Amino acid sequence: MREPSKLYAMLQSKARLVVRQLRKTDLKAVQEIQRRCFVSIEPWTRDQFDSQLAVFPEGQLGVEIDGVLVATSSSLIVDEEDFGSYHTFDQVSDNGFIRNHDPDGDTIYGIDIAVDPKHRGVHLTRRVYEARKELARQKNLRAILIAGRIPGYAKVADKMSAEEYVRRVVRKDMKDRDPVLTSQLGQGFAIRGVLKDYLPSDSESAGYAVFMEWLNPEHHPDNTPVSARSVRVAAVQYQMRQITSFDEFAQQCEFFIDTASDYRMDFLLFPEMITNQLQVLVQAPESSATARRLDEFTQRYVEFFTKMAMKYNLNIIGGTHLTVEGGKLFNVASLFRRDGSVEKQYKLHISPSESRWWGVTAGDEVRVFDSDRGKVAILIGDDIAYPELARIATAKGANLLFVPFVTDIRSGYMRIRSCAQARCIENGMYAVLAGPIGNLPFVQGADIHYGEACILTPCDVPFARDGVAEEATPNVETMVVHELDIEVLRRNRLTGSVRTWLDRRPDLYGVRYSEGGKKFEV
């Protein structure tokens, strides 16, 4: 067994970014964050904080990065009828003690969010809102209510009313945008009104607050079934182009990451061999030596995509990268989770060109990864042409298959795509494909590329025509996105026109594999 690189081992040990319930020992850190954020507002006292944790611990959330608390939030459950019109902060929060928390209420009310100013710009507020939304879904609550600050209003209060200020912010007519209101609108909240004297001590907002609401789209009366769970996926049709630095490569990748985040994607897939662009920066006399020198970028590659996944709240499959481990060269795909953890899948079947030009070594395990949207697997390039691998992944619980690939001409692409479509039909799963386009004339073995990113489904009545949920125009730099319904997939496995997973004949055939020195059979 080979030893994983120290960098990967360190990153895989635990999540770096964690959203968790607050604890009593967090009080000092919470107070420091609140003081840095709200100059004119007193932080929670020990009695208030302890009361919140005792009354509704699930609603008191914090975000920590590398073990340090960097954001804090508080909430309670109320009945919308009690606070659907005018009210103050002291009324809804019970002066900060939340003893008015109603377990039988229908709405979460967020009374506080604070993010350490040193960690702004990495979407930590979104993490808190997403956690609140998930809590609303779990408890089948109707909505989330907040009364948001408008810290830019005090500067213009002598020139316009609070209502006019809010209208201008929404229309983007203000010279200086209001960061709090803009952020809350971006989280899907709708404005219900403006509350006067909501929190008089908030001098930056002149005591005003914007009353806002997010409606839970999965809310259902107790006698109806839960809404189906969905997963949003995106695949990048990535243009290979000549670059002069790692920063240029990173800038090109971040553009697509930022765009996918705007579309609220859960997963973003980059193509196989995406870092081949960097070979031009480490040229050696032999192509195999140049390929090995790509390992010089491994630390920057891992750190970059880890940072991007955390910053943009997005699970990223960072294509593949040639990595040297134990003196051998591997083609490795990495899953960068949005919590900062990292997982690896090694390519299992090495193509003749990879062997001839670069001397790549094959991996030895089909891995299935847990994610916040279910179990997923990664099959790299021609690994998808071997049906046994997808069978193993499905047996381990994967519903979603990511296929980063690189092909030079259309026939090679059609082999990848046709095999991926077959794996969807055989196993009742979804497949997301992403390959590069463009030319790298100075990289041996990677001169030209043919690509057509797509998202594939099984072929049956509930799915898209031809089993294609989405596909790109060939050889044009773009990104395809789609929302996949996991519940439809589950039902189709059980009741589809042909039950290709359930109706297999283990009395006639089977798939046997080895893992960790043990034998298994699908």
Q: Which helix (H) or strand (E) holds 185?
A: helix 179-186
pLDDT range class, residue 3, cuts 50, 70, 90: low
| CA 197/CA 440 separation, integer angstroms | 62
Instruction: Give the residue-averaged pLDDT of 454-469.
Output: 95
Q: Name the nearest CA neighbour of 277 among 408, 452, 437.
A: 437
Domains located in the chain, CATH noted: 16-215 (3.40.630.30), 230-521 (3.60.110.10)
Check pLDDT > 90 for residue 442: no
- What's the Cα-to-Cα distance from 445 to each of 290, 357, 409, 469, rounded to whole Å? 11, 6, 13, 32
- What's the Cα-to-Cα distance from 236 to each of 36, 199, 245, rounded to whole Å? 39, 46, 21
**Residue 197 has what pLDDT?**
95
Check pLDDT > 60 for residue 2: no
**Residue 158 has what pLDDT?**
93
Instruction: Give the residue-averaged pLDDT of 444-470.
Output: 92
Taking the model in full, what pTM does it have? Answer: 0.77
pLDDT digits (tens, 9 = 90+) for 497-521: 998 988 888 888 989 999 988 998 8
pLDDT range class, residue 224, cuts 50, 70, 90: very low
Q: What is the DSSP letter of 457?
A: -
Instruction: Give the residue-averaged pLDDT of 21-27.
Output: 96
Measured from the Cβ of residue 317, the count of other Cβ atoms closer than 10 Å reads 28
pLDDT digits (tens, 9 = 90+) for 103-159: 889 999 999 999 999 998 888 999 999 999 999 999 999 999 999 999 889 999 999
Strands 478-485 and 436-439, by their bridges, are unpaired
Measured from the Cβ of residue 467, the count of other Cβ atoms closer than 10 Å reads 17
- DSSP string across 309-342: HHHTT-EEEEEEEEEEETTEEEEEEEEE-TTS-E
pLDDT digits (tens, 9 = 90+) for 53-73: 999 999 999 999 999 999 999
Check pLDDT > 80 for residue 347: yes
Identify the burial level of 389 via C-beta atoms within 10 angstroms of its C-beta, where 0-12 means exposed, 13-18 middle and 19 or more buried.
buried
Tokens 């109603």, residue? 102
Choose from 161-165, 189-193, 454-458, 495-499 the range with maximum mean pLDDT: 454-458
pLDDT range class, residue 6, cuts 50, 70, 90: low
- What's the Cα-to-Cα distance from 166 to each of 115, 171, 512, rounded to whole Å? 23, 9, 63
